[in-house]
A and B are shown apart, each in its own frame.
Chain A
Amino acid sequence: MTTFRLPDLGEGLAEAEIVEWHVRVGDRVEVDQPLVSVETAKAVVEIPAPYAGTVSALHGAPGEILATGAALIEFEGGATVVGSMPPTSPDELIEHARPGRDPGEPRHGADSRRVRALPAARALAQRLGLDLGSLHGSGHEGQITIEDVLAAAPLQQATTPPATPAPAGHAQELAEPLRGARRTMAQSMTAARDEVALSTVFEDADIDLWLDSGAVMARLMRAIVAGCRAEPALNAWYDPRTSSRTVHPQVDLAVAVDTADGLLVPVIRDVGGKTAAQLAAELDALKSAAHARRLSPEQLRGYTIMLSNFGTVAGRYATPQVVPPAVAILGAGRTRRAAVPGAEAVAVHRVLPLSLSFDHRCVTGGEACRFLAAAIADLQSPE
């Protein structure tokens, strides 16, 4: 059987409507004999037989619309298909080659003493105050890549002063590019803001009974562990792509450390499994490393919940930002004396203001409040 397909009858026509068949199944037709009248967007045209033969099938009744390339009529015998253009293969895109040079061949004329670097890598190195000449290029033809610059950054930053700011003159030249931790903060906070359904709940813990009033951080860490025991849902990761959460049995607490170069958030592992003294020692070590910029990437990764004790500086309440994949952060404000209504009289007690932010996509308000209640209960015990 030979299939004759509806050709493009105009210039780029996609379909045609069958107006009238001039032949019937079983008819013997001669070449160029009119087969069918069809109407396209441009014209009513008569399609002739491309070759002689006996009609074995007609496709489409009058009024029916056929797409260009659809089977129109079939003839007995043969196998030639006419009326259809060969399909065009999708083709990969290639960059234009330059005359007379293979892509791998080094360019003549280029100054071989010049360090070859990706423009973005060059700019980054300049911002970080790195000397490109001292870097190893791992890219094509030895080009220095962004990764090469980043790999060298911590090593050189300890010894190299930051790049001298450009002389003032234009507003743009006064702008200082964000570097290092500050740049990371900008990126992660932007992502967090765009993603997290942030809710914050505020409450004060009455710490008037505390025996050791200087142990705020150790008590906060213990309170978080208490909160997580009461509501493990806050010690969790949320993955929006799969709409799944991972509730962690162990509390790995990220602690915000404010440094001159920006916010750093090192992680203390297994807070629940450590004594107050261990926690205090570990925290001190991490803080020192943060200020000296000697934190390893591992020390900055894998937290399950976060703590920000901004009250060491100033401030009562805040809306601390949850940074995914974690779902909760506890913020502690400055302790203060506050009037506390007793059963019969108003007393003045020391209180610790708390702000608990949580990602409402994954954590319910009830869970957050129960966590907060448990944490406050723990904080309000004398030791």
Chain B
Amino acid sequence: MVEAIAMAHGWEMQHDERVVVLGQDVGANGGVFRATLGLQQRFGGDRVQDTPLAEAAIAGMAVGMAAQGLRPVAEIQFMGFLYPALDQIVNHMSRLRYRTRGRLSCPVVVRMPHGGGIHAPEHHSESVETMLCHVPGLRVVCPSSPARAYGLLLAAIRDPDPVMFLEPARLYRAVRQDVEDDGRALPLDTAFTLREGGDVTIVTWGAMTAETLRAADELAGRGIDAEVIDLATLSPIDTETILASVGRTGRLVVVHEAARNVGLGAEIAALVAEHALYDLLAPIRRVTGYDTVMPLYRLEMDYIPGVERIVAAAERTMADSR
């Protein structure tokens, strides 16, 4: 996946000279995950800039650069280091267009690794997408395959407004796929149905799509036909795709790595309750990380929901409606 991300950068920088990359170690080093590998050599130090070690500066300067006509793609090295940048993202990036009635705007992409599962040190494995989804004026995207990472990143860079681009760290090198470097973007408002099924809808995103698809295989062996939806764009949510699926299956399970309390799963459950309650055959279930700190890596796979938990939730949902 990480090569697909670098490839998308390369395509767009080649075709739009307003696109510049900034972040810590994005230049000669190509990013700590190599998501910007080779870009500085190809496009030069002006367009691929190593910034000082200061997240607020990365986000704040991206605001200034975007307001003056550039299309910055900023990298935050890990999601746990996002917090100093939030002031700039929430107070300015998300609302500069609004505040100036469209006079200035912020076509910025802020990329960052998302989630755990890579045996990283403390603060390197956060999944706090809900914080970002709560902010008006931001789009939040989380791809789950190399092809979707390529297409969605192109769309994010081309979008006229700020996009938070969350890259599942454990998929960076775990998933390999041939991706055509054709510059074709994917829509930023559409969820992807990864597997069709008539019994239960499972909505998930990012790295959890891997566990969820394995759970769906397991469920198939037990006679349960699960439909798996990759939300992909976490804000705004593609309500239509979810409701259409729940309309067919009558059952919903939401799976996410992030903590449960006020997680995005709650929003999805509320949307379905508001718009499709009468289609439901069973209560909505959530399979999520726990409401505790993401543990250091010896326990991280105990925190991240596994196939077993997803299978059990789907089975319980089926049992509830019999």
* Chain A interface residues (CB < 8 Å from chain B): 95-96, 98-100, 107-111, 114, 116-119, 122, 141, 143
Contact = CB atoms under 8 A, between A and B. Distances in A.
Most buried by A among B243, B278, B281: B278
Nearest to B243: A109
A98 B275 contact: yes
Interface in B266-284: 274-281
A111 B250 contact: yes
A109 B245 contact: yes
Given A109-B248, A110-B248, A111-B250, A98 B278 contact: no
Given A95-B274, A108-B247, A110-B247, 13 more contacts: A99-B239, A107-B243, A107-B247, A107-B276, A107-B279, A109-B248, A116-B278, A116-B279, A117-B278, A118-B277, A118-B278, A119-B277, A143-B278
A110 B274 contact: no
A186 B80 CA distance: 54
Contacts of A143: 278
Nearest to A116: B278
Interface string B50-84: 00000000000000000000000000000000000
Contacts of A119: 277-278, 280
Contacts of B247: 107-111
B19 to A, nearest CB: 31
A354 B120 CA distance: 79
A107 B275 contact: yes
Contacts of A108: 244, 247
Nearest to A166: B319
Interface in B239-275: 239-240, 243-245, 247-248, 250, 274-275
A117 B276 CA distance: 11
Contacts of B277: 118-119
A100 B275 CA distance: 13
Interface residues of B, number: 16
A119 B239 CA distance: 21
A111 B248 contact: yes
Contacts of A114: 250, 279, 281
Contacts of A118: 277-278
Nearest to B242: A109
B274 A96 contact: yes
A122 B281 CA distance: 8
A232 B248 CA distance: 63
A142 to B, nearest CB: 10
Contacts of A98: 239, 274-275
A122 to B, nearest CB: 8
Most B CB within 10 A of own CB, among A95, A108, A114: A114
A111 B276 CA distance: 11
Interface string B25-51: 000000000000000000000000000
List of 10 A-B pairs having minimum Cβ-Cβ separation, nearest first: A109-B244, A110-B247, A109-B247, A116-B278, A110-B279, A143-B278, A98-B275, A111-B248, A107-B247, A111-B247
27 contacts: A95-B274, A98-B239, A98-B274, A98-B275, A99-B239, A100-B240, A107-B243, A107-B247, A107-B275, A107-B276, A107-B279, A108-B244, A108-B247, A109-B240, A109-B243, A109-B247, A109-B248, A110-B248, A111-B248, A111-B279, A114-B250, A114-B281, A118-B277, A118-B278, A119-B278, A141-B278, A143-B278
A108 B240 CA distance: 9
Contacts of A117: 278
A109 B242 CA distance: 10
A110 B239 contact: no
A118 B276 CA distance: 11
B321 to A, nearest CB: 9
Given A98-B239, A99-B239, A110 B280 contact: no
Contact of B276 (A95, A96, A110): A110
A117 B275 CA distance: 14
